[in-house]
Chains A and B, each alone.
Chain A
C-alpha cells in the first residue's frame, strides 16, 4: 500500500474541498461536461471562422463562447449542487462528519467551493478560445471580460443557492430552481444573439457611473443572496445545539439599517429604495419564518448571560420560527418606517399608493404561506417545503381568478380573493379599482395575517418555557469542559 498519493492535496486545503475535488474530478458529469464543452467550442469556432466574414465571425464567436459558458456555468454546474447536502443526509454520512472537527459551515462551504473551483477550471479552459476570438477583431475586451466575470459570479451565487437548498428535505425546493434555470436559458440566447449582446457589452465596459453602480449593486445582491443560501444550508445540517440563525438575522438587520440610512441621501432614487429593502428582506424573512423550532438550553444560555437586554434580544434573535415572526415584524417596522420617512417627500402620491400596494402585497404574500406553514406543519423538517407549497398555491390562486375575471370582464369578482394578498397586484392593474380603496384593503388583510401570525408565534414561544427554565437552572452549574 502506498500512502504517498495522500499528499496530492496540501494539508492547508479544507478536508471537505479535498474530498469533493477527489470525487468530483472522477465524476462522469464533470468529465463529460468538460470534454463535450471543449469539443463543441472548438468545432463551432472553426466553423464560424471558415464560413463568415471576420467582422461577423468575431461577434458570432463571442456569442457562442458566452452561450456555451453560460449554459455550463449557470445551469449544469449549479445543478451539480442539487444533491450536495441531501446525498450526505440520506447516505448517513453527514453525522460522521459532524463528529469530526468539521463545522456545518465548513461542510457546506467546502461543497460549494468544490463545484465553483470546477467551474473556474472550465472558465480557464475557454481563455484560448477567447484569444482566438480576439484575432477575429471587433472585441470589446473590457466588456467581455467583465461579462465573463459576471457569468462566473452569477454561477457562484446560483451554485450557492442550489447547495444551500439541497439540505432541505424537499424535492419541490429543488425543482423550483430548475424551473428558474430553464426560464433563464430561454433568456440567455435572446440577450446574446438578438442584438442585445453589443448593448450589454457596452454596459459592461463600466464607462459611466450608472453602469458601475448597477454592476456593483448586482454583484452585491448575488453575493448576499448566495451567502444567505449557504447560511441556510448550514442551519439545516448543523446539530441542534448550534446557532447559525442569530448571526444571519443580525447581518440582515444591520444591512436594513444601512439601506434605510443611505435612503435619506438625496442622490438615492427614492423609487429604488423599496427594491433594495425588498432584496435584503426577502431571503432573511423567508428563512426565519421557516426555521424549525426545536430549541435547546445551550442556545438560550448566551442570551441569558446578558441579563435583561439578552432576554429581550432572544425574543427576536432566537433560532426558530416563533422568534422569527417577532424578528420579521421588527424588520418590517424598520423597513416601512424608514421608507416612509426617507422616500415619501420625493415620490408623487399616485406612485406612492402603487408602491405601498405592491409592498403590502409582497409582505402579505410571504406572511400568508408562513402563517399556514406555522399552523399546518406536523414535522419541523417539512416547514420549509410546506411554505413553498403554500406560496405556490397562493400564486396559482392569484393567476386563475385574475384570468377568469379578465375573460368575463368581472373584475369585482376579485374582491372574493383579497384574503390572498398577491391578488392586490392583479387588482392594481385593473383601472376599475380605486387605488386608495385597494391600499386600505391591503393594509387590513396584511394586518389580520400578521396578527394571527403573532398570536401563533406567541403560543409557540410559550412552549419554550421548559427549555428556558432548564437553561436558567444550568447557568453556572453546567459540567465544565476539561
Chain B
C-alpha cells in the first residue's frame, strides 16, 4: 500500500482547472519532491491530501484512507506544513506548542514530554519564552515543523518549506528533513529550489498546468536529453583546445557549444549512446588526442525547463526509452 495515492484527481475553481487529472503514488518511507511553476496545481493537490480542500472529481488516499470520506482518520496520519502560516499575538513558542498538543488530545505528562521532544528536535528550546509572532522566518518554519510533528505523523506534507529562508536556515531545514526521512517518515515536499530537492528526494514529480508531466528519480532527469533530444558531452584533448571546435564544424550531428580550458562542451543531437561512441571513434580517427570524454549531467532546473519545453512543442515530456540493444 502506498503512503500517498492520487487517482485521476480534478479540482476546478469555477472555470479555472487547478488540478487536471493528476495520478501518482508515493511509497511508504520515501521522500518525494513536488515541482511546478506558480499556479501549476502543487498547493491545491497538497491541500486536498491534507484534507483542507476537496476534489471536484477523483480520489486521494493517505495510507489507503480516502481523504474525503474519512478526513479525521487522515488527519491523524499527516503533518501539514503550509508555505506560510500566521502566529499568535501574546503567545510564546512554548504556549503555541502547548495549545496544539492540547488540541491534538495530549494530556498531562505525555503532553509535556511530547513538547519537549519536538522542541529538542527542532532546536526551539532557546526560543521557548519568545513570543511566536516575533520570530524570524527560519525560526517560524522550525516552529511550524515542530507543530506538524507533535502527533508523530507517518506522512509529512510540506508546501514550500524553504521559501524565504536564508542559506543557514535552509541548511538546517534540509538537515531536519534528512533526519525525518531516516526515521522512515514519508515526506512529500514542494520547493522551487530543485537542486536541494534533488539531494533530498527519492523521486520527483513535475506538475504543469494541473497535470503530472514527469515522475521519476532525479538521476534519470540529470542523465536525460534536452528538448530536441540532444545530449551534452565534455571533451578534453591533449593539444590546442581549438581542435575540438574546428573538428565539430565539419560534423553534421555534433554542435560545439562552448570552449573550455582543454577542449569544450559539445552537443550530440541524439540520446543514443552508440552514436556518442561513433563520435568518439571519429574524433580519435581524425587525430584528436582525447584525454576525457564524458556525458554531462544536467541540473534539475534545466531538466524541468526541457520537459516543459517538450510539452510546449507537442512532444512527450520524457522521450521513449531506447531499445535495450542500443544501450552501452
Contacts and interface: CB of A to CB of B under 8 A. Distances in A.
19 contacts: A1-B125, A3-B94, A3-B112, A6-B112, A15-B102, A22-B95, A23-B88, A23-B89, A91-B87, A92-B82, A93-B85, A99-B50, A99-B78, A241-B68, A296-B68, A298-B68, A478-B66, A482-B64, A482-B65
Contact of B66 (A23, A98, A100, A479): A479
A401 interface: no
Interface of B: 50-52, 54, 61, 64-66, 68-71, 73, 75, 78, 80, 82, 84-91, 94-95, 98-100, 102-105, 107-108, 111-112, 115-116, 119, 125, 128-129, 147
Contact of B85 (A92, A98, A241): A92
Contacts of B105: 101
Given A92-B82, A479-B65, 6 more contacts: A6-B112, A7-B112, A11-B107, A11-B111, A91-B85, A241-B68
Contact of A23 (B50, B52, B91, B98): B91
B152 to A, nearest CB: 14
Nearest to B120: A1
Contacts of A206: none
Contact of A101 (B84, B103, B112): B103
A27 B65 CA distance: 42
Contacts of B70: 478-479, 481
Given A23-B91, A92-B86, A102 B65 contact: no
B120 to A, nearest CB: 10
Shortest 6 CB-CB distances between A and B: which pairs?
Answer: A91-B86, A15-B102, A100-B103, A26-B90, A479-B66, A15-B103
A153 B72 CA distance: 35
A276 B254 CA distance: 89
A100 B61 CA distance: 19
A5 B93 CA distance: 13
A90 B84 CA distance: 11
A335 B84 CA distance: 49
A162 B84 CA distance: 28
A440 to B, nearest CB: 43
A119 B185 CA distance: 46
Contacts of B107: 11
Nearest to B78: A99
Interface of A: 1, 3, 5-7, 11, 15-16, 18-19, 22-23, 26-27, 90-93, 95-102, 239-241, 296-298, 474, 478-479, 481-482
A1 B128 contact: yes
Contacts of B82: 92, 95
Contacts of A99: 50-52, 75, 78, 80
Contacts of B100: 96, 100
Contacts of B65: 479, 481-482
B263 to A, nearest CB: 53
Contacts of B112: 3, 6-7
B33 to A, nearest CB: 22
A97 B85 CA distance: 12
A100 B85 contact: no
A416 to B, nearest CB: 37
Given A23-B91, A482-B73, A100 B104 contact: yes
B205 to A, nearest CB: 23
B102 A22 contact: no
B88 A19 contact: yes
Contacts of A479: 61, 64-66, 69-70
Contacts of B88: 19, 23, 91, 93
Contacts of B52: 95, 98-99, 239
A3 B115 contact: yes
